[in-house]
Amino acid sequence: MKVNIEVERSVKVELPAEQVRKLFDDLEATIGRFPKLKRLNRIGPDQYVWELNTIGSRIAKIAHDVTYGAHYKRSGDGKEVSWTPIAGKGNADISGVFRVSESGSGSEVRFKVKGELRDVPVPLIYRLAAPPFIQGKFIALVDTFLERTRDAVMQQVSEEAPKKKIARKTA
């Protein structure tokens, strides 16, 4: 069975966009925060094959081990990373965009993904329920990914901040 997915989510970060954009400097580390990522194989410059752990429910027999290839491209202004599927790599075609923009006193990290999962094993009785169920699973994964990304950026900035010296009184 083929299942289409489409997810668009965002998270606010209380830092200027310029600081948040640093997460695109290390694409592999950023991708590595995605939940259920079992393996990330680099197959060329800015090209990776993702292998995810099972998504769904084995008990309900709606479960899929997703594998797909993607070619990443950074925008010239550094505000965005987009990706397109690599034909013939895996059982899914997934494209998307990851964008950082100014928002009020901080920034917004927006993540949009769209694609098709192929060969999803679904019993006939669950054929109508499977697409929204799998879509819901992907939404939860993206939400967790954005939370991890926000937390990683905040931690990186706090580690880079100069440490305050503690003045000691001498007698």
Q: Pairing state of beta strands 92-103 and 3-13? A: unpaired
pLDDT tens digit sequence for 59-79:
777 778 999 999 999 998 889
In SS3 terms, the chain reads as: CCEEEEEEEEEEECCCHHHHHHHHCCHHHHHCCCCCEEEEEEEECCEEEEEECCEEECCCCEEECCEEEEEEEECCCCCEEEEEEEEEEECEEEEEEEEEEEECCEEEEEEEEEEEECCCCCCHHHCCCHHHHHHHHHHHHHHHHHHHHHHHHHHHHHHHCCCCCCCCCCC
Task: State residue 161's pLDDT score.
Answer: 59
Q: Locate the domains of the chain by residue range.
A: 3-157
pLDDT digits (tens, 9 = 90+) for 13-66: 999 998 888 888 888 999 999 999 999 999 999 999 999 998 877 777 777 899
Please, where are the H alpha helices in 21-164? 27-31, 130-160
pLDDT attached to residue 170: 54
Helix, strand, coil percentages (3-state) for the chain, rounded to 5, are 25, 45, 30
Model confidence pLDDT, tens digit, residues 111-170: 999 999 999 888 888 889 888 988 999 999 999 999 999 999 888 777 765 555 555 555
The three-class DSSP label of residue 28 is helix
What pLDDT, on the 0 to 100 scale, is given for residue 101? Answer: 93
Render pLDDT for 91-113 as a digit per residue (tens, 0 to 9). Answer: 999 999 999 999 988 999 999 99
Top CATH class, 3-157? alpha beta
Q: What are the angstrom distances between the C-alpha of 51 and each of 74, 88, 162?
A: 22, 14, 39
pLDDT at 124: 87
